[in-house]
Structure 1
């Protein structure tokens, strides 16, 4: 993990919706909570500018963060985030305490590489469709990756990649695959362009409407028999 994140926060004494609104408006801070482990949950307040800046880095979402709570450091991960529906504002953040000896279950982003040189795109004229953009994994905090890389270079037209095609780092497991092979879901595919697929479908329909020579002969024979 190449980035280190530290957020300086403070314990929040005043709770409730009214207090949260005042905190956002007057102090430029958002409410949050730290929970998990054997300790009691702690209500915190976070400078909005600090968390907004941290959220600009994708790694923040799948990274062990150091929370400096009134001078006491606590490792944690971002577990949930509430945003304003219309404004670029964070309203609330949930953090889960991290125990270095206990496995975490988190979602990490998928990075698709070599899409421009993909065989199915460059040589066969296909288009790439992503069916997943992140994967739920479980691992110890020290093994937590910032992202998982998916190499699209050798994927051909009509081919799909599945979770099992992702090369997971040592110590990292897919939650879906732990439930069995029938949970090996597709993550990406190279498909025919929409126009080409529609044209091919139209050709199939037209071909189905044209009777074969055998069909014509059968029809004629049936008509002759009925006239006799």
Structure 2
């Protein structure tokens, strides 16, 4: 039986394309002196400015702010890494997130079942908390970790292991839910069950080899949990 769920954020709680396309456009326009430069910077992070589309291998999908910054810095002479990451995080904190499904009722349902709920994201902790707060979700989570919270980032399992330590749960009774291979690799490394959702950029064929189940979105999670309860 499932006793806890730890979610990825972007592409899992929030629809990736709807939420992060606006952030990418704002960042590129903020950094660039003109549209051609913005297009060129977009290419470095796998974002087509004209088509408003992310490439499947874009570092924005599962990378940390430092990893995204590393793609941009060679094309931004004189800009320190710290300044770029801070700018990215400020824009991220104010990015408008589009819920993949109505989140408050879903999280309330999971809590009524007695489940512990966590968040493990490769975004920074401050933007992650801002996004949860904007949707009235913060108090529904028992654990919140970003890539800068001291546990590392995915696909390493540090954030997930910290959730286990805080809650005292056995890894086999926890489901890691995410939209990327990084999420599922972290879940497998932590000994958790792995649930893939299709509200990110990756398709089912990319995720199925690492997932115990592939769901269309997290709205299908309660049904999957119920199906695992012994009769």
TM range (shorter): under 0.3
- Which structure: greater helix fraction? 2
* TM-score normalised over the length of structure 2: 0.23
Structure (1 or 2) with the larger CA radius of gyration: 1
